[in-house]
A and B are shown apart, each in its own frame.
Chain A
């Protein structure tokens, strides 16, 4: 019965979504407001309907209804409650339903706002976002139905939602359980974050399309979608970071990023989304390059769908599994149609979105932002090429190849350096015009301070030139931002009689967005520290130790104390090593690398033991063991300098985005340009 309720509400939501799209188009075409209002009501109705559908699936998961195919695939009796709930996005059909539910929620939130000022946008925002929703609900209804059940017909077991002739419901006593790799807290939160980011970017795209269709070339669509864009970017960033954290904690290879096609499919919309975020700024401040944000949001939208397509279509495995996939070709057609339609629309409005302002200097803020956008696009094009090349190679030559980390790193490293260099100059550059001489005046003090970034590592014995350059750039960015904040505070203190905390608060409040950007960039620089640490200085070793034996790596020594093997109430067999971490003979910590074997799915998961400090991580993996004999256990050990800054940087970015999106009082400052007083 619950499965029927779930599917029924899913099907009704499909019909209502289709109706909403048609009503919005008809209402606009015939200037009939009542039809547009009806479309608005339809949009509001879809979210509760999909909530019922999602709620039904969660109910089936919690109550171990293994007669439902999806439940039997991703859940099991021994799984704790929270994992049963999160199994909603543990498989294909469930995650697609979750995707639709989020999009319905966002679309409803958009139409709930007052539309008095932007009546002309409303129907088109509904058409675009609800149209995308129709596509995803269609997939769920006809190709990836999460409510399909097992039926016994004569001697055969068939999978069907509706009852076959003479069939009765059957189901296994226990399910296969969630893939153990997905039971990590990072993986529990990672997909929702990723999806939130993906789905939230659909809203600015809908506004952009509305702007193109209505021909409004002002930046109203950008203002309306600004918060959506920032939150989308934050969630997408968090999705990537949590994914990295999960890889670091669970995959057991001592790293966080492997340039895997699935990772890249999440990175690509982030690259275009970041470029969009910056292009929007140029349009807002200078009214220039109005076509750029639209091009970039179209790319982001299509890369969001492409990312979902890549992971869902089987294309990554091989061309053959793509051909066998039911939803792969449908995805491809949808991407092609939306891509062509969006760019056709843009080309038809191209002249209307032309701007007459000119670039005056290579060092103006808009020029520097433009260069960073081009760098991001270069990175995007290269990663896209790297991801699709194995498929092209398979189609042309019949042989599949791997495009792995060395290919991407060759491109990423210089772009990363270029981006950091721009981050050095950008906070000091002003909109419209700035001379190199003026920049030089502002730069020399931070430059002098930034030399610490070279001197300290050299004193510490570092000789790798690329690493020294990277450290120097990081120090330079931090110094520039620090000096800039101090300079602005001093300027205000000259004119106002306030206490220092008051001045700092006022300076911050006066230009909240600018400082939020500063915080976000500092967060990115912290992350850069983590990346530099692991990319340049990671060391590793492996050895088999008997109890009491030691293994040395970098400044640390690990001593293998003992191995404990036991069963847990949630049906795991745990082999846990007790390892002492020592430095100069002194015990610093006790860590527990372990391997969990999940009885329900029959799969093992390796969880490292990590001693983490701001300076470095000592990361130990239990590779193998001989429990009965005295041969001991094999450990793989990594020394990962500075990696903790990667996670710290992520927290700083969150703070930055929260500051940027914090609702502000309507003040006199609203809308003023961020032009530095001379």
Chain B
């Protein structure tokens, strides 16, 4: 039975105080449809034993986004349960978030389209689809192609960052074989390694299953970031190795390189957003400084950790540890 309702709730739910006070509201109540949806959740339950917050959209007649927090009030005198429903009108912030999403999507399209044209056109010319090229012409076009690729990669990093910060970087946890995923990634990098004359090796885990619950797209991205960095900052004829092992309930992925290394001073800031070490800028001026920030975020969403050991001019080892027990896995398999 409705005992109290304030003026704002009357306006928001289009109900009159005189009409509603003392009324018992039923599920799908035809007379008070909006009030009914505030009281009953989607499972038609009236309310929980502890405070619960949920989102609700109603049309009165325009769209209104509401956040409903239902709090049970307990009384010692045996008066039974009472509930208070706090309604927050989130319409404006939802609209702003939606506009921002649309802006990011359109900006992505506007930036990616000319880059796609460059990519496909240069690739077609380099492949000889438009006639034979002199060696020197081909080399120049290959450099242009690589520069374009770096810009695409930068745009992708910025988009991922925007999504992550907007809470749009959804995580979907399911059972995957981490070892076969690493094998596939290494295969893709072997071409790159060959081109740069870097020895790339993979050390597999000892026999046993490497199946466990994680978000495969995100972990793949994190491993890509580590390998990409190792390849970029390791000079010609150097070595990069990746290993996977399982120890005491953890999957441990290490990427070791014989690259430029990281100074003690820079280690502390390495996982910060947009941070780039001076020696890294001199090797690769176009990096975004987002990769390790993203990788750390991804690993921590899995309740894992990421650490770096390094010596300047000798190389680095970046290690990701992921728990095999689903510490991070939410009940419905998704989280933001």
Partners in one complex: no
